[in-house]
Amino acid sequence: DGGITQSPKYLFRKEGQNVTLSCEQNLNHDAMYWYRQDPGQGLRLIYYSQIVNDFQKGDIAEGYSVSREKKESFPLTVTSAQKNPTAFYLCASSITGIPTEAFFGQGTRLTVV
Amino acid sequence: AQTVTQSQPEMSVQEAETVTLSCTYDTSESDYYLFWYKQPPSRQMILVIRQEAYKQQNATENRFSVNFQKAAKSFSLKISDSQLGDAAMYFCAYRGYTGNQFYFGTGTSLTVIP
């Protein structure tokens, strides 16, 4: 079955530590996205990538970093510079060129302890 | 930049009744897609329905339909014969032809009352 897999589902991090969230897709989509979801704020774009080895900052990129070395993978690193990292993170992918829908992973709940 | 506004943070509906969720958007593009996504308690985002702006006919998927008014930049979702499983957060989203970004509203939390 084609889809997007995010791992882990739950993640705990100590303050001051970096942590990487995994996102893998086998839909052969060129575009991939990372969103942060907080209560009452909808989905806010952190980073997106339209092609391998290229990515753009979204609205709330500070304290986050990404890489896109393979078409299938778009990992997100939450660095210690992110002041309030506790949130629900969603990864998505889509076809480029034709504005069809985004497909989402199951999400990762990150909690800083 | 495009903006999507959902002015109803919370809505409720009696089971088997009909409810309409509102969405407005702002864009200077003439061609684009609009979407409604459902996020149940599992938090998995599920596509409910999509509308191509160049199509005048409103999209329909079983009990879900939209009222798309391009001139008014309005895209409401109507849920008929509401079921308990419809209880979820609903997000309206926009995607234009000139970029690959999606723009989401802040969501409407729908409660279905038995």
At residue B100 the predicted structure's pLDDT band, cuts being 50, 70 and 90, is confident
CB-closest option in B35, B106, B107 to A101: B35
CB pairs under 8 A between A and B: 51
Q: And the tokens for A25?
A: 């897709």
Contact list in B for residue A94 (CB cut-off 8 A) is 95, 100, 102
Neighbours of A3 (CB within 10 A): 13
- Residue B97 burial class via C-beta count within 10 angstroms: exposed 0-12, middle 13-18, buried 19 and up: middle
Interface test with B, best of A104, A106, A109 (most B CBs within 10 A): A104
Q: How many domains does chain B have?
A: 1
Residue B97 pLDDT greater than 70, yes or no: yes
The reported pLDDT for the residue numbered A40 is 76
Contact list in A for residue B35 (CB cut-off 8 A) is 101
Interchain proximity A45–B47, CB inside 8 Å: no
DSSP code string of A44-101:
EEEEEEEETTEEEE-TT-TTEEE--SBTTB--EEE-TT-S---EEEEEEEE-SSS---
Q: Domain residues for B88?
A: 3-113
CA A38 – CA A19 distance, rounded (Å): 19
- Mean pLDDT for B93-107 is 90
Q: Give me the amino acid identity at B99.
A: G
Residue B73, domain CATH: 2.60.40.10
**What is the Cα Rg of chain A in Å?**
13
Interchain CB contact of B9 with A (< 8 Å)? yes
Q: Give me the amino acid identity at B22.
A: S
- Which tens digit of pLDDT belongs to each residue from B53-70? 999 899 999 999 999 999
User: Residue A107: which region, alpha, beta or left (left: phi > 0; alpha: psi -120 to 50)?
Assistant: left
Interchain CB contact of B32 with A (< 8 Å)? yes
Share of chain A above pLDDT 90, in %: 81
The reported pLDDT for the residue numbered A28 is 94
Neighbours of A68 (CB within 10 A): 19
How close A77 comes to chain B (CA, Å)? Answer: 21
Contact list in A for residue B105 (CB cut-off 8 A) is 42
Interchain CB contact of B50 with A (< 8 Å)? yes
At residue B52 the predicted structure's pLDDT band, cuts being 50, 70 and 90, is very high
CB-closest option in B42, B100, B104 to A43: B104
Alpha carbon of A61 to those of A25, A50, A106, B16: distances in Å?
22, 16, 21, 43
CA A90 – CA A48 distance, rounded (Å): 12
